[in-house]
Amino acid sequence: MVDLKIKIQKLELKNPVMTASGTFGYGEEYTDFFDISKLGGIIVKGITIKPREGNPYPRMAETASGMLNAVGLQNKGVDYFIKNIYPEIKNYDTNIIVNINGSTIEEYIQVAEKINELDKIPAIELNISCPNVKEGGMAFGTSYQSAKAVTEAVRKAYYKTLIVKLSPNVTDITEIAKSVEGAGADSISLINTLLGMAIDAETRKPVLSTITGGLSGPAVKPIALRMVWQVYNSVKIPVIGLGGIMNTSDAIEFIIAGASAIQVGTANFIDPQITVKIIDGIEEYLNKHKIDSIRELVGALNV
């Protein structure tokens, strides 16, 4: 019997497979398809202090081996989440992790303080990398000074596991990673979407209402893998890898590159049961390669 358990500092995962924010709703969207308590964790849809309507339609463009989205953090706000969604999902036997967002550092702090009060939420993912909002979001994650400032501020307001989600839209990802580690992050997740664009040649118009959007799917996987490997080699805190993971082999590659855990995102849209298939696939892989624990595989790249 192989051991799939992994720890992200104090956060204990029964297996390394989680779902990426914005691709798994609040979990309930998937309960018809499989038992979501099998997951290592669920990162719920990004939450802000006030409700947000998100961006106008169209918000999505299919691309070669991927998709662009420009949802823009549509959500009903943190108070609605606490009152109406949290009671429905808190008893699932998995880690429910809240992805938090803000236009200002103050807003991030306010959301973090409120989530800190929820017993059944063991961690937050600080989103400093959303490319689809006019204020905040990625702006915080593309300079090491602002990434540091927001991480430090939230660290003071939040006592449980703090994961910081990084943007790949930067020159040197290791610089940002080191600055959030120094500011007190317990873990780093990467990558959020890559800023991209789609044009309709017939009409000469942009496909998305916001012109640009975030690219995800297997098209971004090699970039994500490279960044996970770079960050793993430059920080001491655990890394959570995501970006275009479509199957078991993709997940294993991220772990070998240095990810202690992985998140599955866009693939959930195409196969809503993909995460359980990956959990089973990782177990098979470990058996086949006679590895007792998934922990032995983290960063086990042969170079």
- Catalytic residue ranges: 130
Q: How many CB atoms lie under 10 A from the CB of residue 261?
A: 28
Q: Using alpha carbons, select from 3, 84, 8 the residue that is nearest to residue 44.
A: 84
In the complex, what is the shortest distance from the CB of residue 223 to another protein, in angstroms, rounded to a whole number? 17
Using alpha carbons, select from 192, 98, 194 the residue that is nearest to residue 154: 98
Applying CB under 8 A, which of residues 9, 38, 50, 58 lies at the interface with another protein? 58
The one-letter amino acid code at 254 reads F
DSSP codes joined into one string, 259-286: EEEEEE-THHHH-TTHHHHHHHHHHHHH
Give the interface segment with another protein, choosing from 8-16, 50-58, 139-147, 233-241 (CB under 8 A).
50-58
74 part of the interface to another protein, by CB under 8 A = yes
Query: Among 217, 238, 258, 281, which residue sits at the site for another protein (rule: CB under 8 A)?
Result: 217
According to DSSP, the β-strands at 123-127 and 161-165 are: parallel
Which residue matches tokens 């449980």? 160
Smallest distance, another protein to C-beta of residue 132, A: 11
Other C-beta atoms closer than 10 Å to the C-beta of 59 total 19
Interface with another protein includes 33 (CB under 8 A)? yes
Strand partners, 165: 127, 189
Closest to 59 measured CA to CA, from 213, 268, 266, 244: 213
Mention every residue, 6+ apart, whose C-beta is less than 8 A from residue 139.
146
Per the structure block, which two tokens stand in for 70?
């420009």
Among 16, 66, 141, 281, binds another protein (CB under 8 A): 66
Minimum distance from CB of 279 to another protein (Å)?
17
Q: Say whether residue 24 binds another protein (CB under 8 A).
A: yes
The reply on whether position 67 binds another protein by CB under 8 A is yes
Q: Which is nearer to another protein, 104 or 273 (CB)?
A: 273
CB of 217 to another protein, least distance (A): 6
Asked if 206 is part of the footprint of another protein (rule: CB under 8 A), the reply reads no
State which of residues 268, 276, 282, 297 lies at the interface with another protein (CB under 8 A).
Answer: 268
Give yes or no for residue 22 binding another protein (CB under 8 A): yes
Q: Which stretch binds another protein (CB under 8 A): 105-113, 119-127, 266-274, 286-294?
A: 266-274
**CA atoms of 241 and 227, how far apart (whole Å):** 9
Q: Which residues contact 11 (CB under 8 A, 6 or more apart)?
A: 41, 95, 122, 123, 161, 186, 187
Nearest distance, CB of residue 75 and another protein, angstroms: 9
Residue 173 token pair: 């990802």
Selected from 7, 10, 62, 120, the binder of another protein by CB under 8 A is 62
Rounded CA-CA distance 303/294 in Å is 19
Residues in 170-199 that interact with another protein by CB under 8 A: none
Which residues bind to another protein, rule: CB under 8 A? Answer: 22-25, 29-30, 32-33, 45, 53-54, 56-67, 69, 71, 74, 217, 266, 268-273
